[in-house]
Amino acid sequence: MNTMIKIEIAIAKIMFIVMVILILVAAIGRAMGYPLIWSIEISMVLFAWVSMFSIHYAQVNQRNMGIDILSKRLPVKVQNLVDYINKILIISFLGFGTYSGYVFMWDTRSHILPISEINHVVLSAAVPTGCLLMIFTCVRQLIDKINSNRALSIRGNLP
């Protein structure tokens, strides 16, 4: 799994650099009277993919935004229960996002972006793919938490 994350981040970094260069070249071209209209569409596609890879990276490292001011005051068993419910809700939401995203991608498969003439699937596939990656990560994290709590309870260390 770590290798896949490293590959994702490398791809995201390359895409981000290309996106920044495209926007910079487009701005310089526009200032010189030669606008590169297609660069905005390419940057939009790259931004969608970079966003999904970045959100997945945050999920893998459990660095997503969260508010735990109330949950940290609860007993550990209740905290664990809230975490289980939260993970199941997140997996359900991501499952809906994956399904809806693939339906949207299928519905727009015949569309092309107007200027660059890239198939719309390249853009619309970012969301369901990102959701699917996050589902795998959340399920793995949920299984790891269950196994960790089971090991603690077997040893008698669970509060």
Domain extent, residue 65, equals 2-155
pLDDT band at 158 (very low <50, low <70, confident <90, very high): low
Number of domains in the chain: 1
pLDDT band at 157 (very low <50, low <70, confident <90, very high): low
Which residues fall within 8 angstroms of residue 12, CB to CB, at 6 or more apart?
A: 49, 50, 53, 54, 57
pLDDT in tens, 24-34: 999 999 999 99
Instruction: Give the 3-state secondary structure of 16-59.
Output: HHHHHHHHHHHHHHHHCCCCCCHHHHHHHHHHHHHHHHHHHHHH
pLDDT of residue 130: 96
d(CA 133, CA 88): 15
d(CA 104, CA 119): 13
pLDDT in tens, 20-67: 999 999 999 999 999 888 999 999 999 999 999 999 999 999 887 777
